[in-house]
Structure 1
Amino acid sequence: MAAQLFEANYQRLGFIPFTAASASLVQHQNYEGYIKVLYAHKGAQLDIDFTHYHVQQPTLFFINSNQYLHIHSLQETEGYFMYYNRDFYCVQIHDAEVACDGLLFNNIYQMPSVVLDRKEQAIVESIFEQIQEEFTLAAATQEEMLRIYVKQIIIRATRVWKKQQLGLLNTQPNHEIEFFRAFSRWVEIHYRTKHLVADYAELLGVAPKTLTNKFNRLQLPSPNEVIKDRILLEAKRLLIHTTLSAKEIAYDLGYDDPAYFNRLFTKKIGDSPNVFRKKYIEGKNVQLEL
């Protein structure tokens, strides 16, 4: 089936079944600014930001509009690529419906993948098949049906993601997961202007030590590491995808002292910003194999 597009009143959702032969149809540069969902089978290889994924079993990838997708190769088995804008569906506005913001999207691990077992694979493939069928109907209710299918995929994937990624936290009362989600969301909103654990503790209404101890108890990355990792991820994006200088990036990320930012980047990443950019352009090892 060919690529399909729903568009009305600034709302847009595109749907593309693909195989290895049509990989060029789903490259990131065609869908900048969109939220993207990629369903791939064993053998597919892709980069999301600076992480390389070699798919070993059916996997859903949720790529936010500020993340970068590059596909190296896809499998012969048909997969699906869906993209939509926030006018069509915004997880922040509809968080009460899907409870995924800070988990599936904007999570502290920057982990966008959900590996599916056979049961979940069958359910998810059935939903994608229903989306294909919906495009053939051209019914007056198409918009809402498509939105329902998107929500179904997000809800199911969020449940699986929590089991796969949250570890001890997934065994805790719901208010602990909500606390985790709130922290993740605040970091995503404020990482450019708030760099200290104390800043986020204040937003969450707890003492900095309480915030750190809570994450330690649940064997989660420390809040300070989460904050710094998010800042440095954005720094790497800006180094690779813009022409901004290291000094300009430091200012953009809220650092008045570019030399301090340079030292922080070098300590955490292992190379200075300029060396990192040079290595990436030359195709050297600045990514993590998964």
Structure 2
Amino acid sequence: MNSATFESNHKKLGMISFDSSNLGLVNGASFQHYIKVLLLPPGYALTVDFNVYETKNPTLLFINTNQYLDIRSANENKAFLIHYNRDFYCIQIHDEEVACDGLLFNNIFENPTVDLQGDELQTISQLFTQIDDELNFQDRSSEEMIRTYLKQIIIRATRQWKKQNLQNEKLDLVSTDQDFFRNFSRLVNIHYKEKHSVADYADLLNLAPKTLSNKFHKLNLENPNEMIKNRIVLEAKRLLLYSDLTIKEIAYQLGYEDPAYFNRIFAQKAGKTPATFRKEIKN
């Protein structure tokens, strides 16, 4: 697999293979505005939304259009990147079928990785190969076939993500709890610019604020107030990197009338001021 693309009526999906010899292609601006699914072998190191990950097993990653991705190092083993636009496959429209929004995408746990082993690795690898076959074959049925394979990847990855992140000794959740945390994550991602308090989200979930906080405390999770702040600071980091907005303008865009208060929250979470962060990340 090298590079192949499907494009029709504003709908676009493509796939490339890469390794240490052509990382510049993946890290450049070409794919920044696409939703991305990466299949990486062991031994790759990358930054996703300013967090560093190293692949110890074959790994799937799901990257949304507004996320920061930088593959820092690779090896001679091939990795694969599927990239597509919302016209080809919209996460939100299909979410009732695949239930990935808030887990694979836009998740409050900030863990975008899915480890693959055994039969699951074989199945996912085969689905990537089938998408590549359709991209190279392309007849009138190819679009729907590709979308079907992509949906299977997302569904299987969502199941694996739940097993790896929501069903362990630390956090053994039943399905109702999984739905609760997924809904909380989705709500934060939708409303973080104008809703900054636990009470705001408790109201959206028809809960008392104390009940919402207790759900997190019972399961030894970071409290919801910190998760809300994490999402706000993450967006601030993206804007500091990708936009030319002033720090005051970023504060206003994120719902803070007092830029000094925004600066204090950012420094508390990031360990440095917004000005220092922007200077370091752009150098």
- What TM-score does the superposition give when structure 1 sets the normalisation length? 0.92
Deviations 1:60-91 (A, max 9, x none): 11101110111223221222100011111112
Q: CA deviation at 1:169?
A: 8.4
Q: Which moved more, 1:104-113 or 1:237-246?
A: 237-246
Letter paired with 1:192? K
Unaligned runs of 5+ in 2: none
CA contact (8 A) 2:4 2:136 kept: no
Question: Aligned partners of 2:9 and 2:147: how far apart in 1?
Answer: 15
What secondary structure does 2:22 align onto? helix
Q: Which position in structure 2 is the counterpart of 1:66?
A: 66
Question: Aligned partners of 2:22 and 2:267: how far apart in 1?
Answer: 39
Question: Aligned partners of 2:263 and 2:171: how far apart in 1?
Answer: 37
> Residue 65 and residue 22 in structure 1: after superposition, are their counterparts in 2 closer, same or farther (change >3 A)?
same
Question: Aligned partners of 1:9 and 1:104: how far apart in 2?
Answer: 27
RMSD (Å), alpha carbons = 1.6
Question: Aligned partners of 1:78 and 1:269: how far apart in 2?
Answer: 34
Deviations 1:124-183 (A, max 9, x none): 111111111112322211001000111111111111111111246864332221111111
Q: Which position in structure 2 is the counterpart of 1:266?
A: 267
Letter paired with 1:150? L
Q: Which position in structure 1 is the counterpart of 2:31?
A: 31
What secondary structure does 1:103 align onto? coil
CA contact (8 A) 2:27 2:70 kept: yes
Q: Which moved more, 1:266-275 or 1:244-253?
A: 266-275
> Residue 147 and residue 84 in structure 1: after superposition, are their counterparts in 2 closer, same or farther (change >3 A)?
same
Question: Aligned partners of 2:253 and 2:152: how far apart in 1?
Answer: 37
Q: Which position in structure 1 is the counterpart of 2:44?
A: 44
Unaligned runs of 5+ in 1: 283-290
Counterparts of residues 101-112 of structure 1 (less than 5 Å):
101-112=101-112
> Residue 171 and residue 38 in structure 1: after superposition, are their counterparts in 2 closer, same or farther (change >3 A)?
same
**Count of aligned pairs between the two proteins:** 282
Q: CA deviation at 1:54?
A: 2.0
Deviations 1:213-271 (A, max 9, x none): 01111222211011000000111111122222211111110000111111111222221
CA contact (8 A) 1:163 1:170 kept: no
> Residue 28 and residue 218 in structure 1: after superposition, are their counterparts in 2 closer, same or farther (change >3 A)?
farther
Q: Which position in structure 2 is the counterpart of 1:162?
A: 162
Q: Which position in structure 2 is the counterpart of 1:100?
A: 100
Q: Which moved more, 1:254-263 or 1:112-121?
A: 112-121
Question: Aligned partners of 2:28 and 2:169: how far apart in 1?
Answer: 34
CA contact (8 A) 2:171 2:219 kept: no
Letter paired with 1:8? S
Q: Which position in structure 2 is the counterpart of 1:146?
A: 146
Deviations 1:79-123 (A, max 9, x none): 210001111111211112111111111110222111111222111
